[in-house]
Structure 1
């Protein structure tokens, strides 16, 4: 069984951790608000999402939106603008609450019909000298249990997501699974 890569890129290979690409793909499956938080429309859309119900407001507070109710009302009314740090907090709270709200539905879709087919594109070896290149090929795998992956993604826990992906999914590729820890792309739909 291969070890995990500790010196990735030392010989010129290029790629991204598979778990990071999985998180990006899960983010792409969620319909986040496209308008940037720095625009009035984007800020209002996020604030409305976070303040429409007591449950949403409680989740926003737990996610790090710690301003007073008076300040929130001023932002919603447009009489006061949040600082750059508060804009980042609003964005982070919005993404956290949105992930939490869609996680159960997304998990159900990913686990349905026996799992979801995932396409894995190998790392880029164009900068690796010929004696050190590996023979890598495009792979696909059917991931049947997404519970740990989606839970780690929902809480933005990159270490847990990496463990769930690297030790929970990749070994199903066979004895050479370590060659797919870093890849150029991972694709799946739900």
Structure 2
């Protein structure tokens, strides 16, 4: 039986957990600053976003990013570049803040009209011996009707730190409801898209 305990790839199949692929699609739908954090433009835009209100500044500090005012000014005017670990923290903090800020909008968009249609491709099994290949591996188009738990798991951001259980459980529950007993063929995917 498929589930969180399977040894994916044991026989040579390749793919990604479909819940993590869904998180990447949601990140794309969330939009945001496209210039890399390693450029002055990208760095300054992220810092302005994260310092625009007292609430945003508190969130930034709670994430462990609390530069001195003089350092922040230097980062903003480009006279000083943050260390690599700070650049990583700036990017991660910005992404989490962005997800939190757009989650409600995305939820309305995805739940509208009774849910959102997704197209999901099963994992690639071209390198798997014939006797170990899945027989139920067609591309499926299904409607996910409730995105509340999925968006909550995505906006939490734990999946980026290897703690994807909340997102994964929510995704699998909805996938099971949409596909039925065949959901295990889509626990891992080579491609996933939303009609949103």
Common topology (TM > 0.5): yes
Pairing 1:10–2:10 present: yes
Structure 1 window deviating more from structure 2 (79-88 vs 142-151): it is 79-88
TM-score, normalised relative to structure 2: 0.90
Aligned residue number for residue 95 of structure 2: 95
Aligned residue number for residue 180 of structure 1: 186
Conserved 8 A contact 1:170-1:181: no
Gaps of 5+ in 1: none
Gaps of 5+ in 2: 159-163
Conserved 8 A contact 1:33-1:42: yes
Q: Deviations over 1:150-170 (max 9, x none)?
A: 111101122110111113333
In 1, Cα distance between the equivalents of 2:23 and 2:155?
9
Deviation (angstroms), 1:59: 2.2
2:14 counterpart SS class: coil
Aligned residue number for residue 144 of structure 2: 143
1:169 counterpart SS class: helix
In 1, Cα distance between the equivalents of 2:174 and 2:31?
27
Aligned residue number for residue 170 of structure 1: 176
What CA RMSD, in Å, does the superposition of the two structures yield over aligned residues?
1.4
Deviation (angstroms), 1:171: 4.2
Structure 1 window deviating more from structure 2 (5-14 vs 113-122): it is 5-14
Conserved 8 A contact 1:50-1:94: yes
Conserved 8 A contact 1:63-1:92: no
Matched pairs, number: 189
